[in-house]
Chains A and B, each alone.
Chain A
Amino acid sequence: MSTTPARATASTKDIIVFDKVNKWYGNSFHVLRDINLNVKQGERIVVCGPSGSGKSTLIRCINRLEEHQEGHLWVDGTELTDDVKAIDKIRKEVGMVFQQFNLFPHLTVLENLTLSPMYVGKVPKKEAEEKAMMQLKRVRIAEQAGKYPLQLSGGQQQRVAIARALCLTPKIMLFDEPTSALDPEMIKEVLDVMVAMADQGITMICVTHEMGFAKAVADRVIFMDQGQIVEQNNPHDFFNNPQTDRSKDFLSKILGH
């Protein structure tokens, strides 16, 4: 990805704040260790690191698909606790795209998109459908609206998943390895949609190993290992001049072949 899109600059307001967040799986697996992270509104962040380093867990804490056990986590001014109302509020503002797409196979593409606006947002059906069609056009897949997800290719499904998340008009978009389950030929169509989205001022946190995407879009790259944030920097400096031995080693592995 050689083109650098015109960037909307990130504001100075923190929209996500991790304050010494810790999480364990079971009694022994300490998956997130003392995470401190501030994300500014409109900022585009790429999170990378070896598998098992806690990247996915980190972003899944933001919409409470995972619960953190220690520390504090604020999203758009609301602290995430067991309070269901707070969780509901945050989930309306945070869209998520999964590695396995997770479209609802028993609903058509259009129904996948209108479900949440209609039943969570209480938007009338017609309005929800119009908005959904708009989002489908944005990801260039409007002609497939009547099909079922399994009738589409992987790349198409992932674009539908992105459109579905956008139907909530989220302030924050989380991407959990969105291209890892795709055939090489389909990765580009999904990345193109994500690059186009990056221009719109939405806060993006993306777990990915697509370093071309990171260079083209990210304001900041976060490198994680063993549940910790090891290093964070702007993409240019991170790729050209990594500071820690761990990140040097990682980069040599993913870029060296």
Chain B
Amino acid sequence: MAETIIFQSLPSRPAPTQTEGLVPWAKANLFANWQSTLTTLVVGALLLYFIPQFVNWAILTATTVPNAEACRTPGVGACWGVITEKYRLIIFGRYPLEVQWRPLVATLLLLALLVASCTRAFWNKWLLVLWVVIIGTFFTLMYGNVLGLTKVTTDRWGGLPLTIMLSSLSMVMAFPLAIAVALGRRSKLPAIRTFCTIYVELIRGVPLISVLFMASFMFPLFMPQGVTIDVMIRVLAGLTLFAAAYMAEVVRGGLQAMPKGQAEAAASLGLSYWQTQGRIILPQALAMVVPSIVNNFIGLFKDTSLVGIVSLYELTGSLGLALNGDADWRPYKLEGYVFITLIYFSFCFAMSRYSLWIEKQVNKSKLR
């Protein structure tokens, strides 16, 4: 009988081609073949042409003096003076100038709340209490009429505080509603399923502008005489219903993607419908659709600019408000738009970065 051969494993060796470092990276990503090289050169040339021009306009020849005369001097580039002059109007809209500390404090509190809500250390039941307290404080500060604060009606609220409040509140309300509707569309009960389907199809079938328009002008017609609901509430409801319909479909997509075995295993362990959804299905389904949900949130944040249709002047609206009526500064709207673009961008970019972090958190269990 032949002797048994002892198996010996080979030691692992480093990969033959270097993939890390600047030169290998550029070789792989910028100059891999002639098409890639050509694209790199064309894009590089365009950047070389446009970037200096933009820098020249935005920085080198720009002026920051809040003086329209100075801006009209030939050869002067961007007129940032318009921001220095009008920033309070752009950021706070028509809110009375002398009490603008109130929206400032209210918005900072709201932002702090949003940051806290995104931080793992705050994820416990006290966060809910914190939400109630801060939202209460927000509206008290904004509306006033108590504690010696003068009353400021909602039609005078505006600018960034309005953008942030409308988008964050409608996001927070739309999310659970979307989950409920998504579960409803998969319900075994035909009445619930039909109702949820009609809701989603109806809302998705019309533009946000008409939803806001209806919430603002048509809804009051159906109310009993003498009963009025503040336009702010109606707009919030409109935004929430609109966002929830889209988000519900995203959530439903996640639910559909769940293997049937998960619900079966949960059922075989005796878990109830709600326990199964809450502890097994939703945590996994939502983790799958984090990018799409954040997509919806970012869209919603920018969609708030449409509330201008019902005469609420959020950030975009109050830019128009600040410049349209002022013949001196009206020509410098471009600079104004660059300014609010930066504001919008920083919020949206923060949301997109946060979504990447969340994705990393929820995918931890998939790492080997």
Residues of chain A lying within 8 A (CB to CB) of residue B366: 105, 148, 150
Asked if B287 contacts A106 (CB within 8 A), the reply is yes
Give min CB distance, B7 to chain A, whole Å: 15
Assess whether B271 is interfacial by the CB under 8 Å rule: yes
Q: Which of B17-32 contact A (CB under 8 A)?
A: none
Assess whether A91 is interfacial by the CB under 8 Å rule: yes
**A87-114 near B? 1/0 per residue, CB < 8 Å:** 0100110111010101111111000000
Q: Which of B236-280 contact A (CB under 8 A)?
A: 259, 261-262, 264-272, 275, 279-280
With CB as the reference atom, state the residue of chain B lying closest to A95. B268
Assess whether A48 is interfacial by the CB under 8 Å rule: no
A95 and B364 alpha carbons, distance in the complex (Å): 29
Assess whether B12 is interfacial by the CB under 8 Å rule: no
Residues of chain B lying within 8 A (CB to CB) of residue A98: 261, 264-265
Asked if B264 contacts A102 (CB within 8 A), the reply is yes
Residues of chain A lying within 8 A (CB to CB) of residue B269: 91, 115-116, 120, 164-165, 168
Q: How many A-B residue pairs have CB under 8 A?
A: 72
Give min CB distance, A92 to chain B, whole Å: 5
Main secondary structure of the interface of B (DSSP, over half): helix
Assess whether A179 is interfacial by the CB under 8 Å rule: no
Residues of chain B lying within 8 A (CB to CB) of residue A91: 267-270
Q: How large is the interface on A (under 10, 10 to 19, 20 to 34, 35 or more residues)?
A: 20 to 34
Give min CB distance, B122 to chain A, whole Å: 21
A168 and B271 alpha carbons, distance in the complex (Å): 12
Q: Which of B352-368 contact A (CB under 8 A)?
A: 362, 364-368
Asked if B265 contacts A120 (CB within 8 A), the reply is no
Assess whether A65 is interfacial by the CB under 8 Å rule: yes
Asked if A102 contacts B262 (CB within 8 A), the reply is yes
Asked if B271 contacts A105 (CB within 8 A), the reply is no
Among B270, B284, B287, which residue has its beta carbon within 8 angstroms of that of A88?
B270
Assess whether B190 is interfacial by the CB under 8 Å rule: no
Residues of chain B lying within 8 A (CB to CB) of residue A156: none
Residues of chain A lying within 8 A (CB to CB) of residue B287: 106
Give min CB distance, B269 to chain A, whole Å: 4
Asked if A150 contacts B365 (CB within 8 A), the reply is yes
A88 and B274 alpha carbons, distance in the complex (Å): 14
Residues of chain A lying within 8 A (CB to CB) of residue B96: none
Assess whether A135 is interfacial by the CB under 8 Å rule: no
Assess whether A29 is interfacial by the CB under 8 Å rule: no
Asked if B270 contacts A102 (CB within 8 A), the reply is no
Assess whether B299 is interfacial by the CB under 8 Å rule: no
Assess whether B283 is interfacial by the CB under 8 Å rule: yes
**B53-69 near A? 1/0 per residue, CB < 8 Å:** 00000000000000000
Asked if A119 contacts B279 (CB within 8 A), the reply is yes
Among A96, A106, A151, which residue has its beta carbon within 8 angstroms of that of B268?
A96
Q: Which of A118-150 contact B (CB under 8 A)?
A: 119-120, 148-150
Give min CB distance, A199 to chain B, whole Å: 23
Give min CB distance, B344 to chain A, whole Å: 34
With CB as the reference atom, state the residue of chain B lying closest to A108. B365
A168 and B267 alpha carbons, distance in the complex (Å): 13
Residues of chain A lying within 8 A (CB to CB) of residue B267: 63-65, 91
Asked if A105 contacts B284 (CB within 8 A), the reply is yes
Given contacts A104-B284, A119-B279, A120-B272, 18 further A-B contacts (CB under 8 A): A65-B264, A88-B270, A92-B270, A94-B268, A96-B268, A98-B265, A100-B259, A102-B261, A103-B265, A104-B266, A104-B280, A106-B284, A106-B362, A116-B269, A116-B271, A120-B270, A150-B365, A150-B366
| B residues with CB within 8 A of A | 259, 261-262, 264-272, 275, 279-280, 283-284, 287, 362, 364-368
Closest 5 CB pairs of A and B: A102-B265, A116-B269, A102-B261, A96-B268, A148-B365
